[in-house]
Chain A
Amino acid sequence: MDKRIQSVSEAVADIQNGSTVMIGGFGEAGSPIELIHALIDSGARNLTVVNNNTGNGEVGLAALIGNGQVRKMICSYPRSSHSKVFPELYRAGKIELELVPQGTLAERIRAGGAGIPAFYTPTTVGTPLAEGKEVREFNGRKYVMEPWLQADYALIKCETADHAGNLTYNKTARNFSPIMCIAATTTIVQARKIVAPGDIDPECVVTPGLFVDRIVQVAEPLQESKLIAEGVSYP
């Protein structure tokens, strides 16, 4: 079961207008910047994107948003010192925002992949983010019901993949990626290294290959903060 694809453009070619796309990463750590740029080149529009943030500068996720391809962002923190693309579009009413607390976002994604349609969490009880949601009491404490989150595609960056799609990550670049891999119908991964089956110790596999559909090698990925410092914008 060899899941290798030759190029990033081939890997994202079938992403249709209107798709829901989960994109791994916490800020620039773990952001699959080459896959995002390939999605910009593909021109797919009207996308719903799930990511913790909304990108920085005018590269990667911020460039995808700036290019008018995203209809709606589902995220926990759409602000950062270098994010200007999203705030401008949001204030102009040109992009929708679903604000989700970070832990609820993670658990909704995990639940989506695990076949759990909803769950109860104490997070947001008594706050504006709980408005209109079902509240139920368990052992005398209130909890808010939250639905699962699933996607048509996940775009993921990993450190090492084998041909079968078993993955390992690098440090805090792991963040949302393993749970997004399980919550998407089609998971597309860019890997710094691709190795033969057996070269990753089964005890060390973080994402089992079952959850991965396509892998493409990007040996030297661009570094978002470097591009921003150099004033680069994409395309």
Chain B
Amino acid sequence: MSDSTEMKKGWSRNQMAELAAHDIPDGSCVNLGIGIPELVAQYVPEGREFLYHTENGLLGMGPTPESGEEDPELINAGKKPVTALPGASYFHHADSFAMIRGGHIDVCVLGAMQVSGNGDLANWSTGEVDAIPAVGGAMDLVQGVKNIFVITTHCTKTGDAKLVEACTYPLTGVGVVSRIYTDLAVIDVTPEGFRVNKLAPGVSFEEVVEKTGAPVLPAA
């Protein structure tokens, strides 16, 4: 990895995205959330092919167009310009969410505010009185897509744990997350709770335990 943060302890955003990309099987239909999850598309392993779904009505989404080639009527769920690859299809919103809710999408990678040890996800609202609530397609995605991966920093900017015993923010879904990629570790959500799958370079199991707000089991 040629990332400038290579020598630092832990994984960078790009490295977390690369790890997630490596866990997606060849031929998967994938929906990427807005933010860090979008980076996953840059790290498709050699020899694998993913089909990207964007909930605003495109299957077979390609990369960002060249400057000057943007089409305001060809965008992704984050409302950014994208391209359509050969073999792509357009469809209306009810069909798009039939793909999602009907279990036809294999993997969705999302960001998180909090994840609990039983896989509850909170990623749409801080619940503050003054906040404008906005949910988009997140609640449909977590219920319908077969595997929900989360990419997030292990702690908030102020050092609070994002992996917790029980979410304090309003939930997006109950028991929906299967795997979490943080800057410190890859962590699976198992029937026994959080379990380390892989530690980042220079990070000890003890540090992960200390920075997690719920019990964590060592790698099996």
Contacts and interface: CB of A to CB of B under 8 A. Distances in A.
Given A106-B93, A129-B139, A178-B92, A172 B75 contact: yes
Q: Interface centre among A87, A101, A173, A225, by most B CB within 10 Å?
A: A101
A102 B136 contact: yes
Interface stretch (A3-11, A12-20, A120-128): A120-128
A103 interface: yes
Contacts, number: 141
B75 A103 contact: no
Contacts of A77: 134-136
B174 A102 contact: no
Contacts of B101: 103, 121-123
A38 interface: no
A76 B172 CA distance: 13
Contacts of B38: none
A95 B147 CA distance: 38
A175 B120 CA distance: 30
A165 interface: no
Interface in A61-115: 76-80, 86-87, 90-91, 97, 99-107, 109-110
Nearest to B96: A106
Interface string B126-143: 000010111111111001
Interface residues of B, number: 39
A29 interface: yes
A121 B170 CA distance: 19
A127 B84 contact: no
A174 B132 contact: no
A76 B57 contact: no
A109 B92 CA distance: 12
Contact of B136 (A76, A87, A107, A179): A76
Interface in A132-151: none
Given A29-B75, A122-B143, A129-B135, A172 B58 contact: yes
B92 A179 contact: yes
Contacts of B97: 102-103, 106-107
A211 interface: no
Contact of A99 (B74, B90, B130, B133): B133
B75 A91 contact: no
A30 B73 CA distance: 7
13 contacts: A79-B134, A90-B132, A101-B137, A103-B139, A104-B139, A107-B97, A110-B94, A122-B144, A126-B174, A127-B174, A172-B57, A173-B73, A176-B93
6 interchain residue pairs of minimum CB distance: A103-B140, A103-B97, A126-B174, A106-B93, A173-B73, A102-B137
